[in-house]
Amino acid sequence: MKKMSNIYESAANTLGIFNSPCLTKVELRVACKGISDRDALSKPDPCVILKMQSHGQWFEVDRTEVIRTCINPIFSKLFTVDFYFEEVQRLRFEVHDISSNHNGLKEADFLGGMECTLGQIVSQRKLSKSLLKHGNTAGKSSITVIAEELSGNDDYVELSFSARKLDDKDFFSKSDPFLEIFRMNDDATQQLVHRTEVVMNNLNPAWKTFKVSVNSLCSGDQDRRLKCIVWDWDSNGKHDFIGEFSSTFKEMRGAMEGRQVQWECINPKYKAKKKNYKNSGIVILNQCKIHKMHSFLDYIMGGCQIQFTVAIDFTASNGDPRNSCSLHYIHPYQPNEYLKALVAVGEICQDYDSDKMFPAFGFGARIPPEYKVSHDFAINFNEDNPECAGIQGVVEAYQSCLPKLQLYGPTNIAPIIQKVAKSASEETNTKEASQYFILLILTDGVITDMADTREAIVHASHLPMSVIIVGVGNADFSDMQMLDGDDGILRSPKGEPVLRDIVQFVPFRNFKHASPAALAKSVLAEVPNQVVDYYNGKGIKPKCTSEYESSRTLAP
């Protein structure tokens, strides 16, 4: 085994990927100017779709709200994206006119697009470019994207506003009010933070509760001025001004623990002209809740263990292990692709598992003594205790079981996903962030039980687990890309969508000549976010607050 130690060393060098707090998140705000519709008589109902390029394909990341009858829209919804300094991240912003009776894109009019890299936006902070339509400029229309880094604090706030006795601006009915909140920047510009929905025909509206990051609301500065404007919505896009008021996040925090904060809504013109003018209504903040967002390091340092399980494909398509062309051939000096992938990923995960005992399973082989096909057998042949001591133990169990197996088929991976999901499901009963499960599946081919696998993944997306699939050999893995939800939402055969994207698929051949570090980095890059998404989504805090976390909290 001496010859394999160099793999361990190079894999160990990758440990930096989990030691840095997980990457930088960037918030992107979008506005357009001068967009025109095919139908010159009416104004468009624009919506911006953000797409990202991956492996040469564009896929949708997110979309803004639709703003009705507007040629110069400023969108309220933010795009939050992960920024990797070491990668070129290509973005495409597409502006579509979404007619009110149809929210899909099939019938929507494409109004223009703009391509750039995330690096360009981040380095310029504010990027304005013409919108292009089929390679030509789309009239005088342009798009502006503003980037802002989410600094250390990604806590968010839940705010619930209402108003009473607003001025009536409509002759035949009551006003249709909506509220806009702007953050005043250091350079005296203002930035839209949130726009509520319109409440029709009501002078005492209660707007829906909304969430916004502390960073977005006040850049982490509680005394920063916030400007709030109430408008009366008009279908032609020319909204009537009702009134405005100023506040700060510090003041809004007064609406915690069941208290309310109120402001007079003032129309400066009326105030100057009318002697007896009091106000144009009262705006009330009924609740302000702060939600703490915990990082991957908060959970790990709070004692969350990563439970690492391996599943290896022993189907006949791998070739006879005694033959040097086989993917399972044990070369005296050179580890095969299965071993390289196992060691590269396992070496990193084992640092986050205190007992260093790893369950290891095989699938698709006939196993002794009766030589029946199994899709979830322990490779140490001890069904009661499938755990191996360390990655080294998994390597040894793999090498000693190979001569005893009959490679067979088909390639079914649903049973092994269900097996790990069962353990993860028992973990959910603790309501604590104590164990998160990672299943590494190493396979040489297209899976046979795609419907069952999709069902198993949708079920597992509700549990503290992630699935990493490494494709070994030169098969056509296009079906596997579908399980990795990057190109759209994975659904079960019944149409139920995954709660969160938990599958990462990587073909080993892309890393054949790269270091094990590169493979590990690629397959594990999404894990920190998946851990955080699961526990934050369930409102589960780290078990014990670490000193690291207390140093990054927002001071009251």
Q: Is the pLDDT of residue 281 over 90?
A: yes
Q: Which residues contact 505 (CB under 8 A, 6 or more apart)?
A: 469, 470, 471, 477, 480, 481, 483, 484
Q: Which residues contact 309 (CB under 8 A, 6 or more apart)?
A: 358, 359, 360, 361, 420, 437, 438, 439, 440
> pLDDT tens across 514-542, in order?
777 777 777 787 888 889 889 988 889 88
The answer to the question of residue 360 being in a domain is yes
Reduced to 3 states (helix: H, G, I; strand: E, B; else coil), residue 75 is coil
The answer to the question of residue 19 being in a domain is no
> pLDDT tens across 162-171, in order?
999 999 988 8
Question: Do 317 and 459 share a structural domain?
Answer: yes
> pLDDT tens across 107-129, in order?
468 899 999 998 888 878 899 99
Q: Comparing C-alpha atoms, which of 62, 68, 28 is closest to residue 46?
A: 68
The 10 Å Cβ neighbour count of residue 22 is 18
Domain that includes residue 478, residue range? 296-411+426-538
Domain count, the chain: 3
**Sheet hosting strand 365-367, strand order edge to edge:** 372-374, 365-367, 406-407
> pLDDT tens across 16-69, in order?
333 333 457 788 999 999 987 665 667 889 999 999 987 778 888 889 999 988
Question: Do 160 and 202 share a structural domain?
Answer: yes
The answer to the question of residue 551 being in a domain is no
Question: Do 187 and 60 share a structural domain?
Answer: no
The answer to the question of residue 545 being in a domain is no
Question: Do 338 and 283 share a structural domain?
Answer: no
Distance CA 79, CA 133 (A): 23
Question: Do 163 and 89 share a structural domain?
Answer: no
Question: Do 449 and 331 share a structural domain?
Answer: yes
Q: Is the pLDDT of residue 554 over 50?
A: no
Quickly state the pLDDT bin for 334 (edges 50, 70, 90).
confident
Last-in-domain residue among 116, 150, 184: 150
Token reading at 485: 């939800």
The answer to the question of residue 324 being in a domain is yes
The answer to the question of residue 390 being in a domain is yes
Strand partners, 409: none
In this prediction, residues 453-470 reach a mean pLDDT of 95
- Half-sphere exposure at residue 369, Cβ-oriented, CA atoms within 13 angstroms: 0
Question: Do 145 and 66 share a structural domain?
Answer: yes
Eight-class DSSP state of 485: G
Token reading at 186: 């250091």
Token reading at 164: 């009473």
β-pair type (305-313, 357-363):
parallel
Q: How far is CA 131 from the centre of its chain?
A: 27
Question: Do 248 and 181 share a structural domain?
Answer: yes
Last-in-domain residue among 243, 263, 291: 291
Q: Which residues contact 525 (CB under 8 A, 6 or more apart)?
A: 17, 504
CATH assignment of the domain containing 260: 2.60.40.150
Question: Do 105 and 62 share a structural domain?
Answer: yes
Question: Do 389 and 285 share a structural domain?
Answer: no
CATH assignment of the domain containing 521: 3.40.50.410
Per-residue buried b or exposed e for 173-202, using 16+ beta carbons within 10 Å of the residue's own CB: ebbbbbbbbbbbeeeeeeebbbbbebbeee
Concatenate the DSSP letters of all residues of 85-129 into one string.
TTS--EEEEEEEE--TT--SSSSSEEEEEEEEEHHHHHHHSEEEE
> pLDDT tens across 419-444, in order?
999 999 999 988 899 999 999 999 99
The answer to the question of residue 274 being in a domain is yes
The answer to the question of residue 507 being in a domain is yes
Last-in-domain residue among 150, 181, 209: 150
Question: Do 278 and 241 share a structural domain?
Answer: yes
Question: Do 397 and 320 share a structural domain?
Answer: yes
Token reading at 172: 């035949």
